[in-house]
């Protein structure tokens, strides 16, 4: 049997892991999002000569690709907002736990846990949602949020950037992480749950429904 790796942090009382706040992801696509992405993919295939152009002008196809890239960048940007919110919540938890105050934990510590070493059950849930490469999704979302204060529009971003934003976002994340300090958090020490926002809302509604109404005992 494989022995668990030694803990880098003092264990919380009577538990195996420190429980972090849940990561809640909100919907990040508008009504046109899926159609725009499909049109972007078709336009790319036409430009590459894999599909017939069907009378479409090259300029129009390139415009469809740009629109698709803008849609992708916006989706990643909004995912990054949720991730940054969670990272801030994690650092607040660490700052208020006496056993963790001196551990040197930062947003980068929990970003390492999220991107490079998510707990097995989180990885499995993401796969169930159809997210095959969650590491790239999360790292690029954080990278874009490190640079942009709002989702970029086509008028404010160069087409060269939009067409190859993956490489830029990867570089943004590496730069952001390199400028941060903090001991890496690992699933040997920390765990958390992942929820879609609608799923989490339903959980809260059930919990509230199970609680007795205030003052009911006095009636």
* Number of Cβ atoms within 10 Å of the Cβ of 54: 7
Please state the domain extents for the chain.
18-29+79-207
On average, the pLDDT of the chain sits at 82
Average pLDDT of 19-46? Answer: 76
Tokens of 77: 């940007």
The confidence band for 31, taking pLDDT boundaries of 50, 70 and 90, is low
Residues 6+ apart with CB under 8 A from 52: 46
Q: Stretch 130-144: mean pLDDT, rounded?
A: 93
Among candidate residues 64, 60, 48, 26, the one with its CA nearest the CA of residue 154: 64
Give the mean model confidence (pLDDT) for residues 120-140.
Answer: 91
pLDDT: which is higher, 66 or 210: 66
Flag the least confident range among 32-36, 45-49, 201-205: 32-36
**121 Cβ partners below 8 Å, 6+ apart?**
193
Residue 32's pLDDT is: 64
- As a whole number of angstroms, the distance between CA 39 and CA 44 comes to 9
- Tokens 């508008």 identify what position? 30
Q: Does the pLDDT at position 212 exceed 70? A: no
Concatenating the DSSP letter of every residue in the chain gives -PPPPPPSSPPPTT-SSEEPPPEEE-----TTHHHHHHHHHHHHHHHTTSS--TT--HHHHHHHHHHHHHHHHHHHHHHHHHHHHHHHHHHHHHHH-TTTGGG---HHHHHHHHHH---HHHHHHHHHTT-S-HHHHHHHHHHHHHH-SSPPPGGGS-HHHHHTHHHHHHHHHHHHHHT---PPP-TTTEE--EEEHHHHHHHHHHHHHHSPPTTGGG-
- 160-186 confidence digits (pLDDT tens): 899 899 999 999 999 999 888 778 888
Least confident of 68-77, 122-131, 198-207: 198-207
This prediction's pTM: 0.80
């Amino acid at each position: 049997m494989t022995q668990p790796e030694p803990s880098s942090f003092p264990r919380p009382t009577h538990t195996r892991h420190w429980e972090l706040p849940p990561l809640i992801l909100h919907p990040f696509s508008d009504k046109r999002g899926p159609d725009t992405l499909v049109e972007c993919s078709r336009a790319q295939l036409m430009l590459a000569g894999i599909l017939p152009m069907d009378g479409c002008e090259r300029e129009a196809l390139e415009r469809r690709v740009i629109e698709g890239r803008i849609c992708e960048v916006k989706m990643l940007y909004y995912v990054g907002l949720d991730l940054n919110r969670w990272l801030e919540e994690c650092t607040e938890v660490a700052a208020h736990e006496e056993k963790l105050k001196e551990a040197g934990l930062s947003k980068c510590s929990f970003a390492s846990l999220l991107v490079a070493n998510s707990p097995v059950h989180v990885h499995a849930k993401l796969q169930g949602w159809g997210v095959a490469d969650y590491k790239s999704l999360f790292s690029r979302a954080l990278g874009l949020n490190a640079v942009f204060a709002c989702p970029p529009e086509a008028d404010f971003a160069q087409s060269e950037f939009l067409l190859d934003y993956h490489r830029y976002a990867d570089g943004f994340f590496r730069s952001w992480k390199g400028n941060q300090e903090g001991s890496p958090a690992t699933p040997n020490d920390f765990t958390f749950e992942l929820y879609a926002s609608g799923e989490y809302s339903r959980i809260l509604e059930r919990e509230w429904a199970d609680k007795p109404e205030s003052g009911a005992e006095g009636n």
